[in-house]
Amino acid sequence: MTIKLFIQAIAKFVLGVVLVGLLIFLPAGTLYFFNGWLLMGILFVPMFLAGIVMMLKNPALLQKRLNAKEKQREQDLVVKLSGLMFLIGFILAGLGFRFSWYTLPRGVVIGAAAVFLVSYILYAEVLRENTYLSRTIEVQENQKVISTGLYGIVRHPMYSVTLLLFLSMPIVLGSIYSFFIFLAYPFIIVKRIKNEEKLLERELDGYIEYKQKVKYRLIPFIW
């Protein structure tokens, strides 16, 4: 662990908290928005704890996860579309609370929070299984194909988990309107996966054989 990495990680974490907070509570017009605080809690508390663990045990992985700048133009577009989805979705949820639009029942919200937390555990398991994971699409030096654990079920378990995470977010916020916006994510991630697999087939030894072994990319028995 280096001081530079520590400062970078803390700065990005604080920036994330501030940005998400502004996108949710500013449109809501108040801090008395239970669903907003619930999402902030289940999102950032586990993120903070996971960051500490990576910083102490695997700072190289943390550095990869902090690097979000895509080198490929097509993938940069995917990242921007995802950012736009979050922007519109969070703002809609806040506005929904301010103007008393239809709010999902509390039981549905709590259920979505439970799904979110379970997904976070699966997210941590994916990171444990594959220390080559970065936030950008690339093949790293000495990278090997991972085919055990969740990687024996689908070829891109990280995206499977983020699908659960992201689709549960608007439900935690209680906004069905925001949920419709987040339904864009499966289409965005499919585009990313198709482009990523072309790179992996070309540059990662053994990936073509792995594709023959594990048939499904994102969702078992579906795709």
CATH number of the CATH domain containing 206:
1.20.120.1630
Residue 220 included in any domain = no
Residue 18 included in any domain = yes
pLDDT digits (tens, 9 = 90+) for 29-82: 999 999 999 999 999 998 888 878 777 777 776 776 666 555 556 667 778 888
Q: Show the tokens assigned to 74.
A: 């097509």
- Can you say whether the dihedral through the CA atoms of 150, 152, 154, 158 is positive or negative? positive
Share of the chain above pLDDT 90, in %: 43
Q: What is the dihedral of CA 105, 175, 68, 164, to 10 degrees?
A: 40
H-state helical runs in 29-134:
34-57, 59-66, 73-98, 106-129
Domain count, the chain: 1
pTM of the model: 0.86
Residue 218 included in any domain = no
Q: How far is the C-alpha of 142 from the C-alpha of 8, rounded, in Å?
A: 26
Residue 223 included in any domain = no
Residue 222 included in any domain = no
Q: How far apart are the first and last CA of the chain?
A: 39
Which residues are within 8 A (CB) of 112 and not within 5 positions of it... i.e. 6 or more apart?
168, 171, 172
Residue 61 included in any domain = yes
Residue 136 included in any domain = yes
> In whole numbers, what is the pLDDT of the chain averaged over residues?
85
Residue 219 included in any domain = no
Range of the domain at 44: 3-213
